[in-house]
């Protein structure tokens, strides 16, 4: 297979982990006889510094021409700490999602047996936890009408039936591929937009009789994720709730550096780690590249390359089992490895396993 990948390293630790994701994909291509080409493009603070635009036209065109985007992270303190800034790195991420029509964010949440001790929850609660959060990406408050004044500000949480239906269908498709259990998360007892979500979901349930559908208020869902994470199989929710719940879910595994994600829709799909740019770690060779590398596995699965994706996952599992880990997940008194060393080890393992 020939794949053209747009490589968007972004800011902070992004360039460091991007190199390791690329190395893993190149190792897979060599082993399985695929041809992969990369087109690098700017996004986030790096793009603002170079062009004044966090998602310039050239980057959009590179993404549109690609088969997939391998993205890393955006964010920079010089914009975070300036409340008067009118252009921010995160606007590049929102623009990419909107302009590529990426309405569905898929975030798997799983635990690794060798890392259960790192979870803030008791091992008996998290062992075997394995679910997928599906977040609507292009609607709701993030893109609704806004007003910001000195004494009053508001955001509009608007959804249409079409937007709700299409994300629910994604949720049902994933549930059918997994354990056939879908949880719709809303706040229908308070919010009109949530009542639309619940109404549409109730009408669609009959189309998927093979899937158990239940409903949960977002506050209850946030508690249930901590108390009983194994309850969930596939969770689907709106943009703001999804942003919060997926970050909460990432803590279950013990490190945000472990979990990948995919954003799909009508345009070029994007694959990325769920963590941010972690600017404090920039250039220190301590960032965990596993989420970026596992994003490569999700990319391969998207194109039906299941054996290749399994090879990447095995290499990651082997790195954990053999103690080849960055400081955030390393065992006490174990050898220290940096971003480069872990990435190189995994690329070499992909080529040999």
- Active-site choice (11, 79, 142, 159): 142
The answer to whether 121 and 230 have CB atoms below 8 angstroms apart is no
Q: Note if 11 is an active site residue.
A: no
Closest CA to 353 of 311, 322, 316: 311
- Active-site choice (67, 155, 243, 318): 243
- Active-site choice (187, 208, 233, 337): 187
The answer to whether 278 and 12 have CB atoms below 8 angstroms apart is yes
Q: Where are the beta strands (DSSP E) in 140-207?
A: 146-148, 153-155, 181-186
DSSP state of 230: G
Q: How many residues does the chain have?
A: 353
What are 249's two structure tokens? 């879910």
- Active-site choice (247, 317, 318, 328): 247
Q: Note if 243 is an active site residue.
A: yes
- Active-site choice (82, 113, 219, 307): 219
Cα–Cα distance between 204 and 71 in angstroms, integer? 33
Cα–Cα distance between 226 and 60 in angstroms, integer? 38
Q: Is 34 helix (H, G, I), strand (E, B) or coil?
A: coil
Q: Note if 53 is an active site residue.
A: no
Residue 44 CB neighbours (<10 A): 31
Closest CA to 8 of 295, 267, 290: 295
**Catalytic (active-site) positions:** 142, 187, 219, 243, 247
């Amino acid at each position: 297979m020939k794949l053209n990948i747009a490589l968007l390293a972004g800011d902070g630790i992004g360039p460091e982990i991007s190199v390791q994701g690329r190395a893993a994909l190149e190792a897979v291509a060599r082993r399985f006889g695929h041809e992969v080409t990369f087109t690098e493009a700017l996004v986030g603070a790096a793009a603002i510094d170079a062009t004044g635009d966090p998602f310039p036209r050239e980057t959009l065109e590179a993404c549109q021409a690609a088969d997939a985007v391998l993205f890393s992270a955006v964010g920079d303190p010089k914009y975070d700490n300036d409340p008067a800034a009118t252009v921010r790195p995160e606007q590049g991420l929102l623009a990419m999602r909107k302009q590529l029509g990426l309405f569905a964010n898929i975030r798997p949440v799983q635990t690794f047996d060798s890392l259960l001790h790192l979870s803030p929850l008791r091992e008996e609660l998290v062992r075997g936890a394995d679910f997928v959060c599906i977040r609507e990406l292009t609607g709701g408050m993030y893109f609704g009408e806004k007003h910001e004044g000195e004494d009053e500000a508001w955001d509009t949480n608007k959804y249409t039936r079409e937007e709700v239906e299409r994300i629910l269908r994604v949720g049902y498709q994933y549930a059918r591929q997994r354990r056939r259990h879908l949880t719709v998360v809303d706040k229908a007892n308070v919010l009109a937009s949530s009542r639309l979500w619940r109404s549409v979901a109730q009408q669609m349930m009959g189309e998927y009789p093979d899937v158990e559908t239940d409903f949960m208020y977002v506050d209850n869902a946030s508690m249930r994720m901590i108390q009983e994470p194994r309850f969930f199989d596939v969770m689907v929710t709106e943009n703001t709730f999804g942003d919060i719940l997926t970050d909460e879910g990432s803590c279950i595994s013990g490190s945000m550096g472990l979990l990948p994600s995919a954003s799909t829709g009508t345009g070029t799909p994007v694959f990325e780690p769920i963590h941010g740019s972690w600017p404090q770690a920039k250039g220190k060779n301590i960032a965990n590249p596993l989420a970026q590398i596992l994003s490569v596995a999700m990319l391969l699965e998207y194109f039906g390359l299941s054996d290749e994706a399994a090879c990447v996952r095995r290499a990651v599992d082997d790195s954990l089992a053999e103690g080849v880990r960055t400081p955030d997940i390393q065992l006490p008194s174990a050898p220290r490895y940096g971003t480069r060393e872990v990435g190189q080890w995994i690329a070499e393992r992909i080529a040999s396993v």
